[in-house]
Amino acid sequence: MRRHINPSGIAPPVAKYSHAVLVRGFDRLLVVSGQLGIAPDGTIPEGCEAQAKLIFAALDRCLAEAGMGRRHVLRLNTYLVDLADRPAFMAVRDAWVEDPPPASTLVVVKELVRPEARLEVEMLAAS
């Protein structure tokens, strides 16, 4: 069982996410390492939007391999190297996220392991 929590008495979420997700009675927990926007041939496209689409496609594949879907996502952690990329990222992310939305954190960082990478996304899911 999962319960999405957005308590009264605090500011509502500023984007498509839940403040908290309470989890009970799950048998499987899927922890996905940070994914970069790398194509299967090893190339990294320019631009946040193209990289974000590759990342969320990779997350879909990880979920499918575990026998899960987007409805099982509990949390997303995102690392952006440029806050100016936020609108492009959020458009892709919000189209991918199912309701009720998972808990989520977005952090701006100086750089990622690959200098051409614009963002990285980690995921936690349970079923």
- Domain hosting residue 20, numbered range: 2-126
- What CATH number is given to the structural domain containing 50? 3.30.1330.40
pTM over 0.85: yes
Task: Count structural domains, the chain.
Answer: 1
pLDDT digits (tens, 9 = 90+) for 46-102: 999 999 999 999 999 999 999 999 999 999 999 999 999 999 999 999 999 999 999
In the prediction, which pLDDT does 22 show? 84
For residue 26, pLDDT beyond 80: no
Q: Where are the beta strands (DSSP E) in 66-113?
A: 73-80, 103-108
Contact 121, 105 (CB under 8 A): no
In the prediction, which pLDDT does 61 show? 96
In the prediction, which pLDDT does 4 show? 87
pLDDT digits (tens, 9 = 90+) for 29-43: 999 999 999 999 999
Which residue in the block uniquely carries the two structure tokens 């051409």? 116
In the prediction, which pLDDT does 123 show? 98
Instruction: Please tell me whether the peptide bond between 102 and the residue prior to it is cis, using omega within 30 degrees of 0.
Output: no
One-letter-per-residue 3-state SS of 44-79: CCCCHHHHHHHHHHHHHHHHHHCCCCHHHEEEEEEE
List C-alpha distances in Å: 73 to 2, 21, 29, 58, 95. 10, 10, 10, 14, 14
At 2, the pLDDT band (50, 70, 90 cuts) reads confident
